[in-house]
Amino acid sequence: MQRRKWASTSNCSQRKHDISGSKNRQCDATVNSEFTSLIERLLTELKAACLEVYGESLVSLAVFGSVGRGTPRPDSDVDLLIVANGLPTGRLRRMEGFRAVEDALQRVSAQFQSQGLNLILSPVIRLPTEITAGSPLLLDLVDDARVLYDPNNFLSNALADLRRRLDALHARRVWAGNAWWWDLKPDYKPGEVFTI
């Protein structure tokens, strides 16, 4: 997989500057439909590749960010969380294992490239104990995760538990353009201690 931004080179993108709006809307709908179909194929292939590579060690698999929200753009990366047992320590060693997933996705990567897009995967690979210990990463997933594999509801339960705790604090996610941040306790008083 090449790690660079996607750039559309379709004929439709060349017509973006055409002032007749109907052609642009029709073209955008076609591009969006093709793009959505390609993303769905990627997610199907991604799940199959992770099951093949991690086998019974795979606990949960989810995408988050714009792909999880269902709002990816051609320049979006694919944020994914892999939870598996028996992982080596250290990010680099875990990424070495993930290369087998990338290799298994060569066909879908070639399809992205034939559409003038480059596939960028941004995996986060964790042990179940690292999830249950608590992680700020889960704040990125609590509203945006699309769970692809979770046979024992490990990740679904962890996210539901976090959602309950956030609701008890009246926490809210605040959007500012395409970025957001959490106001974890809107009624916070100086010196007050709280946990998530």
- Tell me: the pLDDT tens digits for 119-131? 789 999 999 999 9
Distance CA 95, CA 64 (A): 18
Q: At 24, which helix (H) or strand (E)? A: helix 21-54
- What percentage of the chain has pLDDT greater than the value 70? 84
- For the domain bounded by 11-150, which CATH number is listed? 3.30.460.10
Mean pLDDT of 73-80: 86
pLDDT score of 25? 37
pLDDT score of 2? 39
Distance CA 79, CA 123 (A): 6
Tokens describing residue 21:
């709006």
Q: Check: pTM over 0.75? Answer yes or no.
A: yes
Mean pLDDT of 13-30: 35
| Domain residue ranges in the chain | 11-150
Q: Residue 149 — pLDDT band, cuts 50, 70, 90?
A: very high
Distance CA 174, CA 105 (A): 35
Mean pLDDT of 20-40: 56
Mean pLDDT of 171-189: 86
**Per-residue pLDDT at 16 exceeds 80:** no
Question: What distances in angstroms separate CA 176 from CA 137, 168, 179, one per listed residue?
Answer: 19, 24, 5
Mean pLDDT of 88-94: 94
pLDDT score of 153? 98
Mean pLDDT of 174-184: 84
**Per-residue pLDDT at 58 exceeds 90:** yes
